[in-house]
C-alpha cells in the first residue's frame, strides 16, 4: 500500500499546479517557493524512490521529472500573464489627452559645424579624411616637417612636452598627420587632416592653448602652384559664396617653399566688415604653400618625381567670423546658454 502513495502524491501535485491561479507577483512568488524553491515539495518525493519496486524505479523517476517540468512551465505561464496584466493596467492609466513631454533638442558645436563644412567641401573633390594621435613624437611633429632641433621655426611654437620626456608632446599642428601618411603610403596622396592641436599660449579673447585645424595635402607628379591656387579658390567660393575673391601673399612656413597666406575679400560695406578686415576689406583665412622637397625626402618620397602643396585652416577663427563670436573662450566653456543658439543650425 505504501508503494502506491508516492504515485498519488505526484498526481495530486500535478493537478494542484495545473489549477493554480496567481493574481499578483506575491502569489506568483508563493507558487515558486512551493514548487521550485530550494525547499520545494517535490524534493521529498525523490527520496521515496527507495520504496518503489525495482522494475518501476525508472518509471517513477520519469514521473517525478514530469512533475518538475509541469511546475516550471506553469510558473513561466503565470509570470507572463501577470506581466501582461500589469502592463495593461499601466496603459489604461495613461491620459492620452495630456501634452507630450518636451524633449530638449541638442545642437552641434560651432567648431564642429565649421569643421564638417570644410571636410564636405574638400571631400567633393577627392580629398580623403585622415586622423591620427594627439600625443605625437618629436620627429613626426617637427623633424619630418623640415624643423630640426636647431631650426629657428621651433621658436614660433610654444610646445607642451609630456612630463619627463623631450621626445613626446601634444601635437602643435596636424602636419604630423601628413608626415605619418607620407611615410605609410605611396603617392598620389590627397588628404585633409582635421583635429585638435595644442600650444602653450596665454588664454585671452583672441587666443587659446587648444584649438582646431584642418590641414590639406596633395602630392602627385607635376603638381604646381597653379593647382593649389585653383583648389583654394574653389574652397573659398564654396565656403564664402560663388563670387568670392582671394589673394595670396608671400609668407614663411618651414615645411613649404614657396609659402603664402590666403586672404578672402570681405569688403568694407558696413562697420562689421570694416572691423573684421581692419579696414582693408581682406581677411586672412589660411596658410599654404608648395611642399618643401626636404619634407618629401624626409618621408622617403622622391622629390624629383613628385611635388605637392599643403594648406592649413584655423577652425576657431572661421567659426568666430561666421557666427559673429567675439571671444574664443566661449568655444571651450560648454555653456549651454551659448551652445543652444546653434540648435537650429545644420
pLDDT tens per residue across span 178-208: 999 999 999 999 999 999 999 888 888 888 8
Cis upstream peptide for 144 (omega within 30°) = no
Q: What are phi and psi of 300, to 5 degrees?
A: 65, 35
pLDDT at 157 over 70: no
| Mean pLDDT, residues 214-233 | 96
Q: What is the pLDDT of residue 32?
A: 85
pLDDT at 150 over 80: no
pLDDT tens per residue across span 65-119: 888 888 888 888 888 888 887 766 656 666 777 777 777 777 889 999 999 999 9
Q: What is the pLDDT of residue 277?
A: 79
Binning pLDDT at 50, 70 and 90, where does residue 2 land?
A: very low
Binning pLDDT at 50, 70 and 90, where does residue 152 land?
A: low
Partner residues linked to 197 by β-bridges: 211
Q: What average pLDDT is seen over the chain?
A: 86
pLDDT tens per residue across span 31-56: 888 888 888 887 888 777 777 788 88
Q: How far is CA 344 from CA 104, 105, 108, 163, 332, in A?
A: 12, 9, 9, 43, 20
Q: How far is CA 72 from CA 28, 39, 66, 327, 339, in A?
A: 12, 15, 10, 68, 56
Q: What is the pLDDT of residue 298?
A: 94
Q: The pTM is what?
A: 0.67
Question: Element (H or E) spanning 70, and its range?
Answer: helix 57-92
Calculate what percentage of the chain has a pLDDT beyond 90: 43
pLDDT tens per residue across span 279-306: 888 988 999 999 999 999 999 999 999 9
Calculate what percentage of the chain has a pLDDT beyond 70: 93
Cis upstream peptide for 188 (omega within 30°) = yes
Amino acid at each position: 500500500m505504501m508503494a502506491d502513495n508516492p504515485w498519488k502524491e505526484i498526481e495530486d501535485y500535478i493537478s494542484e499546479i495545473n489549477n493554480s491561479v496567481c493574481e499578483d507577483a506575491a502569489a506568483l512568488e508563493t507558487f515558486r517557493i512551493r514548487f521550485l524553491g530550494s525547499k520545494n515539495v517535490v524534493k521529498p518525493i525523490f527520496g521515496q524512490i527507495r520504496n518503489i519496486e525495482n522494475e518501476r524505479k525508472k518509471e517513477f523517476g520519469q514521473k517525478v521529472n514530469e512533475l518538475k517540468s509541469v511546475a516550471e512551465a506553469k510558473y513561466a505561464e503565470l509570470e507572463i500573464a501577470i506581466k501582461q496584466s500589469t502592463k495593461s493596467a499601466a496603459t489604461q492609466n495613461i491620459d492620452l489627452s495630456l501634452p507630450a513631454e518636451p524633449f530638449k533638442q541638442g545642437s552641434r558645436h560651432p567648431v564642429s559645424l565649421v569643421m564638417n563644412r570644410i571636410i564636405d567641401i574638400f571631400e567633393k573633390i577627392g580629398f580623403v579624411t585622415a586622423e591620427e594621435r594627439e600625443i605625437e613624437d618629436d620627429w613626426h611633429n617637427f623633424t619630418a616637417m623640415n624643423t630640426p632641433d636647431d631650426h629657428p621655426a621651433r621658436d614660433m611654437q610654444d610646445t607642451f612636452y609630456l612630463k619627463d620626456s623631450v621626445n613626446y608632446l601634444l601635437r602643435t599642428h596636424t602636419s604630423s598627420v601628413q608626415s605619418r601618411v607620407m611615410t605609410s603610403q605611396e603617392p598620389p596622396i590627397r588628404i585633409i587632416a582635421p583635429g585638435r592641436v595644442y600650444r602653450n599660449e596665454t588664454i585671452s579673447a583672441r587666443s587659446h592653448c587648444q584649438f582646431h585645424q584642418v590641414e590639406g595635402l596633395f602630392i602627385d607628379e607635376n603638381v604646381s602652384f597653379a593647382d593649389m591656387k585653383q583648389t583654394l579658390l574653389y574652397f573659398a567660393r564654396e565656403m564664402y559664396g560663388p563670387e568670392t575673391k582671394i589673394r595670396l601673399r608671400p609668407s614663411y612656413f618651414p615645411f613649404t617653399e614657396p609659402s603664402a597666406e590666403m586672404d578672402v575679400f570681405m569688403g568694407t560695406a558696413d562697420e562689421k566688415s570694416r572691423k573684421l578686415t581692419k579696414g582693408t576689406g581682406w581677411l586672412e583665412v589660411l596658410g599654404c604653400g608648395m611642399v618643401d622637397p626636404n619634407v618629401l625626402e624626409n618621408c622617403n618620397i622622391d622629390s624629383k618625381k613628385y611635388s605637392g602643396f599643403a594648406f592649413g585652416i584655423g577652425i576657431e577663427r572661421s567659426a568666430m567670423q561666421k557666427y559673429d563670436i567675439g571671444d574664443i573662450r566661449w568655444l571651450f566653456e560648454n555653456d549651454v546658454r551659448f551652445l543652444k543658439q546653434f540648435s537650429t543650425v545644420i
